[in-house]
Structure 1
């Protein structure tokens, strides 16, 4: 469970938040559908990017 007011989350945390697999998160980042930032050797996903991604797929479904 993710608690607090994090601004950036890991791929594992993002997969839990969205209810999809970690591999799919990496695919979405690689395709540019899900924005991420690189910090050192790690990739992190801004929480606002997760919100934007969900909004985009909701609009596609409508």
Structure 2
């Protein structure tokens, strides 16, 4: 079964939604934020990740050369 990522016009993502967008687990997203690899903003007690930051993170990923 193939899942398709729907285009989005959202500006901010919750950690759960960011994990789904990246096809990562929530724990991985929290680890990336804690390490400073995935910038986020705080809105009250919640963390939100900009769509532009998610796309920039994906763009900087390098494929492994075996």
Same fold judged by TM-score > 0.5?
A: yes
Q: CA deviation at 1:6?
A: 1.0
Which of these residues, 22, 30, 35, is aligned with residue 31 of structure 1?
Answer: 35
Tell me how far apart the structure 1 counterparts of residues 36 and 60 of structure 2 sit (CA, whole Å): 13
Q: TM-score, length-normalised on structure 1?
A: 0.86
Which of these residues, 32, 38, 44, is aligned with residue 40 of structure 1?
Answer: 44
Gapped runs of 5+ residues in structure 2? none
Q: Paired residues, what number?
A: 60
Give runs of ≥4 in structure 1 deviating > 3 Å: 1-4
Q: What's the secondary structure of 1:61's corresponding residue?
A: coil
For the aligned residue pairs, the C-alpha RMSD in angstroms reads: 1.9
Choose between structure 1 and 2: higher helix proportion: 1
Gapped runs of 5+ residues in structure 1? none
Q: TM-score, length-normalised on structure 2?
A: 0.81
Larger Rg: 2
